[in-house]
């Protein structure tokens, strides 16, 4: 099986090229839907419906674990505050006489 990647480097920037759902669909399709469903211990129709709608986190973790992937959320060291943009409304710029 070819190595899959979620990111692609381009001029120092990292761009997301595949969503997690797209990656899981690709992995399942390469191995075969029925075979993956059998290994997960679920009905293949159930797996098919899951891959074509919103996946539960437990399903994502089960599929990732089957293919040898770990799913992690890592907190950054520093969280940058979101700067609010100034209003462009003309209502806010009325002169009071």
Residue 97 belongs to a domain: no
Which residues, including other chains, have CB under 8 Å from residue 49's CB and lie 6 or more apart? Answer: none
Q: Which ranges in 1-97 belong to alpha helices (H)?
A: 20-31, 33-40, 44-51, 57-66
Q: Which residues pair with 10 in a beta bridge?
A: 13
Range of the domain at 14: 7-74
Low-confidence ranges of the chain (pLDDT < 70): 1-17, 87-97
* Confidence at residue 53, expressed as pLDDT on a 0 to 100 scale: 83
Q: What pTM did the predictor assign?
A: 0.58
* Confidence at residue 39, expressed as pLDDT on a 0 to 100 scale: 94
Q: What is the CATH number of the domain that holds 50?
A: 1.10.260
Residue in this structure with the two tokens 């997960």, named with its chain if needed: 40
Domain count, the chain: 1
User: Per residue in 61-83, pLDDT tens?
Assistant: 999 999 998 888 778 788 777 77
Residue in this structure with the two tokens 């710029």, named with its chain if needed: 93
């Amino acid at each position: 099986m070819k190595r899959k990647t979620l990111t692609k480097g381009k001029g120092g920037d990292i761009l997301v090229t595949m969503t997690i759902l797209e990656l899981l669909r690709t992995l399942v399709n390469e191995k075969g839907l029925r075979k993956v469903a059998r290994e997960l211990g679920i009905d293949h129709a159930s797996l098919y419906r899951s891959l074509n709608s919103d996946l539960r986190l437990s399903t994502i973790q089960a599929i990732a674990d089957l293919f040898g992937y770990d799913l992690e959320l890592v907190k950054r060291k520093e969280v940058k505050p979101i700067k609010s943009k100034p209003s462009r409304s003309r209502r806010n710029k009325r002169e009071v006489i």
